[in-house]
Chains A and B, each alone.
Chain A
Amino acid sequence: MKKWLLTGVASAAIFAAAGAGASDIKQGGSMIVTYKDDVSTLDPAIGYDWQNWSMIKSLFDGLMDYKPGTTELVPDLAESFEISDDGLVYTFTLRQGVKFHNGREMTAKDVKYSLDRVANPKTQSPGAGFFGSIKGFDEASSGSAEGLSGVEAVDDNTIRVTLARPDATFLHVMALNFASVVPEESVAEHGADFGTNPVGTGAYKMTDWTRGQHVIFERNADYYQAGLPKLDKITFEVGQEPIVALLRLERGEVDIAGDGIPPAKFLETMKDPKFKDQIVEGKQLHTGYVTMNVKMKPFDDVRVRKAVAMAINKDRIVRIINGRAVTANQPLPPLMPGYDSDYSGQPYDVAGAKTLMADAGMADGFTTELYVANTDPQPRIAQAIQQDLAGIGIKVELRSLAQSNVIAAGGEEDQAPMIWSGGMAWIADFPDPSNFYGPILGCGGAVQGGWNWSWYCNAELDERAKKADAMTDPSQADARIEEWKAIFTAIQEEAPWVPIFNEQRFTIRSDRLDGPDGIFVDPVHIPVHYDHVFDKGVQ
């Protein structure tokens, strides 16, 4: 039996390392964060958008989390865990004395209840599918069994999860919001309105929600991590257009513009010397790509696909979006473990592209369609692609449609020859390369209504992917990532996609606040890791 044990000392060291001298920072103060949309829900089983993702993370905890500002897994409500030799049984020992916001102590029963709740079809959780590897998931999700048979509360402090198949991403799944621990009595009390009356174990507790105006978080004095969170209070003001939020931030009325810098003001803001120290740039787990449907002629010919990949000027596309991205040459974003920094893919080479077209017997080009979402800047990007491809004789007709129509077209085997993914692109749910394969490049996603819009299905790679995800032994972790790296390089050699760019994130904050840069563009606590932000005024 392999054992990963993190004692209190070790985990304290991790959190101390998170912010330079984080322990010296005094608690207190407050901040105002703005968003355009009202908060949809704070129920961790339901919430799945950019706005509530890190809010939920501040209200709730799960068994696992990430080291702030990084993609490195660390235990959260679990104090330690063990993985059986076959990689099928995970035994978590819970931290003792962790209390819900209602004062009751959290136990293994709550963990079991919370996981069962997400799998229960009545909850209608968009995260249920992530629990697919847990034993008994199919029965629980179809409603034929009450709860997940693979999840047992052994005693108050021990929870044992048995998997139906080895799944190296399981610990990431336990760090998703969907795996947050909730108290049964509060869910029972509020029913479907638990999302507006959240009760968790997190660093903050919600104290007020006035529809259309604000949501207020206050410091959970009983939070298990000493010294956290830094602020006493966060006010989320909603209904604020990003442009208005920026004006208010400039006047000192707002501390973080949650929706970021609006595109129309981006260059101006970035060049403005007074914002120089207030903007933090970071990476995100995002790739924007053009899919080519390998089941539709002439994209069944790898030479044609490569020619397309070589004909597109990615630098120009990045300029179109004011440099808010870096060019990409492979499916995985640079932030993702398994990204191959030595790989160059199909570099921009128009002459080479023409040669490939001639080799494929397509010297005279052909006519095809590019589907694109109809919201700015996507049509402009599609036009750039259209011009580039005209350079090698491909006449592209643009199909600019509502996002949902593009998604629907991609899910049909014979409808969309090419799709520009902008606005709908894959952003990883968790920092593991596996999450970038199955649904969007694997055979499992190449089904009607699926997200594999290039309909690329390589049985051999699928087999390798499956084996890679069965490498659950921590000592194999590096080998597993290497294998994933090789899988993605192999895919790009067949060019079902043209990876175009990886979007960067920019967070703008007032100079009242501080904290390590990483937490303002946290790759997981998106957009900001609220727990670690501190107020300079109280230091």
Chain B
Amino acid sequence: MPAYLFRRILEAALILLGVSLVTYILLFLLPADPVRQIAGRSATAETVESIRRQLGLDLPFYEQYWRYLTSLLQGDLGRSYIQRSEVAELIAARLPASLLLMVAAICAELAMGLTMGIVSAVRRNSSTDQSLMVLSFVGVSAPQFVVGILLLYVFAYQLGWFPISGYGTFGHLVLPAMTLGFMGAGWYSRMMRSSMLNVLGQDFIRTARAKGLGKARILLRHTVPNALLPIIAMIGIDIGIFMSGIVVVESVFGWPGIGQLAWQAIQRVDIPIIMGVTLVAACAIVIGNLLADIVALFVDPRIKLK
């Protein structure tokens, strides 16, 4: 196990290095000149060059990247071009909100997805099953900004059950978490349904029935726990998927997380922030995948380490 972990962490470090290099190249190739943006339209050519020198943007690519990398290793993500604040500080201030939203979204998607999957499997081929599966299909396919605005319009604006936008109370959390979790719920309901059907067809379920166990007991004690195994392993991967989802969902609901920070930075071509958020997101994805693999290892003894 320690050897496995060590190997995975090494892999993770290499992946992050790769991500940082690719992102840095892409942002370097961007036609926008950040210096002109900082200097403003009334700046003289000398001012522009002076700022370029101060920021080290006159250096060749490899030197700029090396500088970035060395300060990154010291925990310095640089300063935002537009806000002029420390990128690390900007991200740290917003990370808790994003984490909260992601945890809530995992709860939401599991609650919605598992319920739908179990009901569908139990009522297989009924009209309930079919309508739930259509709903799950919608969940998987609908763009999140559409779902978000729809939920916001109906439940916050028309019905007034939840605040329209913002942060702070449990009420604020419900709609963004539902929106973010809706897609995963779609996946999970389908997976749970097939996993349930798979388990329900197994011999031990027949044995349980033969023993005369009640329906509810068979379902809750024997079927669901076994059907859950492949799903638990997926949760870690969700963290990665959520990293792209939060950019949209946080913007729609005014949720003060790093997704919104990224979106604003992209619009203003604030390169240090884009870099910083990308790296944090890459970290989250790598960690999520690692967690997923480790969890899978524990819940399913059939998986063996080489």
Instruction: Name A's B-contacting residues (CB within 8 A).
Output: 36-38, 40-41, 43, 46, 48, 121-122, 124, 126-130, 132, 141-143, 192-193, 195-196, 210-213, 237-241, 243-244, 247-248, 251, 253, 402, 404-405, 408, 429, 439, 449, 451
- Whether A121 contacts B54 by the Cβ 8 Å rule is yes
Within 8 A of A (CB), among B212-233: none
A35 CB to closest chain B CB, in angstroms? 10
Closest to B98 in A: A212
Supposing A127-B40, A239-B254, A402-B32 touch, asked if A41 and B84 sit within 8 A by C-beta, the answer is yes
Supposing A126-B42, A192-B79, A251-B164 touch, asked if A121 and B84 sit within 8 A by C-beta, the answer is no
- Whether B256 contacts A48 by the Cβ 8 Å rule is no
Supposing A244-B164, A248-B164, A404-B33 touch, asked if A211 and B94 sit within 8 A by C-beta, the answer is yes
Closest to B153 in A: A247
Which one of B43-51, B190-198, B203-211, B292-300 is at the interface? B43-51
- Whether A244 contacts B43 by the Cβ 8 Å rule is no
B161 CB to closest chain A CB, in angstroms? 13
Within 8 A of A (CB), among B151-185: 152-153, 156-157, 160, 163-167
Q: In the complex, A506 Cα to B79 Cα: how many Å?
A: 35
Q: In the complex, A38 Cα to B39 Cα: how many Å?
A: 20
- Whether B51 contacts A124 by the Cβ 8 Å rule is yes
6 new A-B pairs (CB below 8 Å) besides A40-B83, A126-B38, A238-B254? Answer: A121-B54, A126-B42, A127-B40, A244-B254, A404-B31, A404-B33
Offer 20 A-B interface pairs, CB within 8 angstroms, sorted by A.
A37-B264, A38-B83, A38-B264, A41-B85, A121-B51, A126-B38, A128-B47, A142-B50, A192-B84, A210-B93, A211-B93, A212-B93, A212-B94, A213-B167, A240-B254, A247-B164, A248-B165, A251-B164, A253-B163, A404-B33
In the A-B complex, the 6 residue pairs with the closest CB atoms: A126-B40, A212-B256, A129-B42, A404-B32, A211-B93, A239-B254
CB-defined contacts of A408 to chain B, threshold 8 Å: 31, 33
Q: In the complex, A247 Cα to B254 Cα: how many Å?
A: 13
CB-defined contacts of B84 to chain A, threshold 8 Å: 41, 43, 46, 192-193, 195
Supposing A38-B83, A40-B83, A247-B164 touch, asked if A241 and B254 sit within 8 A by C-beta, the answer is yes
Q: Does B280 contact A (CB under 8 A)?
A: no
Q: In the complex, A213 Cα to B167 Cα: how many Å?
A: 7
- Whether A449 contacts B36 by the Cβ 8 Å rule is yes
CB-defined contacts of A241 to chain B, threshold 8 Å: 165, 251-252, 254
- Whether A129 contacts B85 by the Cβ 8 Å rule is no
B98 CB to closest chain A CB, in angstroms? 10
- Whether A429 contacts B42 by the Cβ 8 Å rule is yes
- Whether B44 contacts A240 by the Cβ 8 Å rule is no
- Whether B39 contacts A126 by the Cβ 8 Å rule is yes
Q: Does B255 contact A (CB under 8 A)?
A: yes
CB-defined contacts of A429 to chain B, threshold 8 Å: 42
Closest to A426 in B: B41
Most buried by B among A124, A241, A405, A408: A124
Q: In the complex, A429 Cα to B42 Cα: how many Å?
A: 10
- Whether A237 contacts B166 by the Cβ 8 Å rule is yes
- Whether B260 contacts A124 by the Cβ 8 Å rule is no
Other-chain contact of A402, B31, B48, B156, B250 (Cβ < 8 Å): B31
Most buried by A among B157, B163, B250, B254: B254
Q: Does B113 contact A (CB under 8 A)?
A: no
Q: In the complex, A126 Cα to B37 Cα: how many Å?
A: 8
CB-defined contacts of B77 to chain A, threshold 8 Å: none
- Whether B157 contacts A251 by the Cβ 8 Å rule is yes
- Whether B260 contacts A239 by the Cβ 8 Å rule is yes
Q: In the complex, A41 Cα to B44 Cα: how many Å?
A: 22
Q: Does B110 contact A (CB under 8 A)?
A: no
CB-defined contacts of B291 to chain A, threshold 8 Å: none
Q: In the complex, A451 Cα to B260 Cα: how many Å?
A: 32
Supposing A143-B50, A241-B252, A244-B152 touch, asked if A126 and B43 sit within 8 A by C-beta, the answer is yes
Q: Does B269 contact A (CB under 8 A)?
A: yes
CB-defined contacts of A243 to chain B, threshold 8 Å: 149
Q: In the complex, A142 Cα to B51 Cα: how many Å?
A: 11
CB-defined contacts of B93 to chain A, threshold 8 Å: 210-212
B273 CB to closest chain A CB, in angstroms? 11
Most buried by A among B38, B45, B256, B269: B256
- Whether A121 contacts B94 by the Cβ 8 Å rule is no
A475 CB to closest chain B CB, in angstroms? 29
B189 CB to closest chain A CB, in angstroms? 29
Q: In the complex, A251 Cα to B159 Cα: how many Å?
A: 12
Closest to A243 in B: B149
Q: Does B257 contact A (CB under 8 A)?
A: yes
B87 CB to closest chain A CB, in angstroms? 12
CB-defined contacts of B256 to chain A, threshold 8 Å: 210-213, 238-239
Q: In the complex, A274 Cα to B97 Cα: how many Å?
A: 36
CB-defined contacts of A143 to chain B, threshold 8 Å: 50
- Whether A212 contacts B46 by the Cβ 8 Å rule is no
Q: In the complex, A41 Cα to B83 Cα: how many Å?
A: 5
Q: In the complex, A498 Cα to B38 Cα: how many Å?
A: 30
B148 CB to closest chain A CB, in angstroms? 10
- Whether B166 contacts A124 by the Cβ 8 Å rule is no
Q: In the complex, A213 Cα to B45 Cα: how many Å?
A: 37
A194 CB to closest chain B CB, in angstroms? 9
CB-defined contacts of B133 to chain A, threshold 8 Å: none
Q: In the complex, A195 Cα to B80 Cα: how many Å?
A: 12
Within 8 A of A (CB), among B111-141: none
A213 CB to closest chain B CB, in angstroms? 5
Q: In the complex, A244 Cα to B260 Cα: how many Å?
A: 15
CB-defined contacts of B254 to chain A, threshold 8 Å: 237-241, 244
Q: In the complex, A130 Cα to B165 Cα: how many Å?
A: 40
B45 CB to closest chain A CB, in angstroms? 7
Other-chain contact of B42, A40, A127, A251, A449 (Cβ < 8 Å): A127
Q: Does B200 contact A (CB under 8 A)?
A: no
Supposing A244-B164, A247-B157, A404-B32 touch, asked if A142 and B269 sit within 8 A by C-beta, the answer is no
A441 CB to closest chain B CB, in angstroms? 14
- Whether A253 contacts B164 by the Cβ 8 Å rule is yes
B18 CB to closest chain A CB, in angstroms? 26
Other-chain contact of B44, A132, A238, A404 (Cβ < 8 Å): A132
Q: In the complex, A192 Cα to B156 Cα: how many Å?
A: 40
Q: In the complex, A196 Cα to B79 Cα: how many Å?
A: 13
Q: In the complex, A213 Cα to B256 Cα: how many Å?
A: 6
Q: In the complex, A122 Cα to B36 Cα: how many Å?
A: 16
B33 CB to closest chain A CB, in angstroms? 7
